[in-house]
A and B are shown apart, each in its own frame.
Chain A
Amino acid sequence: MKRNPLALIAANPLMGVFIALVIIFAISIAASPHFLTGYNMSVIARALAFVGLITIGQAMLMILGELDLSLGVIGGLCGVVAGMAMTSGGLPPIVAIPACLLLGAMLGALNGLLVSILKLHSLVLTIGTAGVFGGVNLVLTKGVAITGMPPEIQFFGRGEVYGIPVPFIIMLVVLAIAVFITAKTPFGRFMYAIGNNVAAAEMLGIKVNRIRVLVFTMAGLLAALAGLLMVARLGTAQPSIGETWVLAPIAASVIGGVATTGGVGSPLGAIFGASIIAIIENIIVLFGVSPYWQGVVSGVIVVLAISFDSASRRLIRKES
Chain B
Amino acid sequence: MVYLEAQKLGRDFPGVRALDEVSITLTLGRVHILAGENGAGKSTLVKLLTGSDTPSQGSIRIDGKDPWQHPEIFETISYVPQELTLFPHLSVAENLFMPFWRSGHGRRVIDRKGMERDAKEYLDRFAIEARPGDLVRQISVPDQQLLQIARASTNRNMKVLILDEPTSALTATEVERVFSVIRDFRKAGLAVIFISHKMDEIFEIGDDYTVLRNGREIETGQIGDCSESELIRAMSGKALKVDDDFRPRGTKTDRVPLLSVRELSGKRFENVSFDLFGGEILGFAGLVGSGRSEVMQTLFGFLRAKSGSAELEGRKWKLGDTSFSVAQGMLYLSEERKHHGILPLLSLRKNIGISILDRTAGRFGISARKESAEVAKVIRDYDIKTDSMGKRISLLSGGNQQKAIIGRAMATSPRVLIFDEPTKGIDVRTKAEIYRIMRDLAERGVAVILISSEMEELRKCASRIITMHAGTTTGEFQTENTTNETLVAAIFGKESASHEA
Contacts and interface: CB of A to CB of B under 8 A. Distances in A.
- Physical interaction between A and B: yes
Interface of A: 180, 183-186, 189-190, 192-193, 196-197, 199-207, 259, 263-264
A203 B346 contact: no
B343 A196 contact: yes
30 contacts: A184-B361, A184-B366, A185-B361, A185-B366, A186-B357, A186-B358, A186-B366, A189-B354, A189-B366, A192-B345, A193-B343, A193-B346, A196-B344, A196-B345, A196-B346, A197-B339, A197-B340, A197-B343, A199-B302, A199-B339, A200-B340, A200-B342, A202-B302, A203-B302, A203-B334, A205-B324, A205-B326, A205-B327, A263-B343, A263-B345
A193 B354 contact: yes
Contacts of A190: 354
B323 interface: yes
B414 to A, nearest CB: 11
A184 B364 contact: yes
A201 B334 CA distance: 12
- List 8 A-B pairs, minimum CB-CB distance, nearest first: A205-B326, A184-B365, A196-B343, A186-B357, A205-B323, A263-B345, A199-B340, A264-B345
B353 A189 contact: yes
A289 B371 CA distance: 51
B159 interface: no
Range class of the B interface residue count: 20 to 34
A204 B325 contact: no
Q: Point out which of B302, B343, B358, B361 has the most chain A C-beta atoms below 10 A from its C-beta.
A: B343
Contacts, number: 75
Contacts of B300: 203
Contacts of B345: 192, 196, 259, 263-264
Interface string B297-331: 00010100000000000000000001111110000
Nearest to B325: A205
A197 B365 contact: no
A192 B322 contact: no
B79 interface: no
B341 interface: yes
Contacts of A200: 339-343
Contacts of B353: 189
Contacts of A189: 350, 353-354, 357, 366
Contacts of B339: 197, 199-200
B355 interface: yes
B277 interface: no
A105 B199 CA distance: 61
A169 to B, nearest CB: 23
B170 to A, nearest CB: 28
Nearest to A207: B323
B332 interface: yes
Contacts of A185: 361, 365-366
Q: Point out which of A192, A201, A202, A205 has the most chain B C-beta atoms below 10 A from its C-beta.
A: A205
A66 B357 CA distance: 24
Interface in B362-399: 364-366
A192 B324 CA distance: 21
Given A189-B350, A192-B346, A192-B350, A206 B365 contact: no
Q: Point out which of A180, A193, A199, A203 has the most chain B C-beta atoms below 10 A from its C-beta.
A: A203
A202 B344 contact: no
A129 B322 CA distance: 30
A206 B357 CA distance: 12
Given A189-B357, A196-B345, A197-B342, 17 more contacts: A183-B365, A186-B357, A186-B358, A189-B354, A189-B366, A190-B354, A196-B344, A197-B339, A197-B341, A199-B302, A199-B340, A202-B302, A203-B332, A203-B341, A204-B322, A204-B326, A207-B323
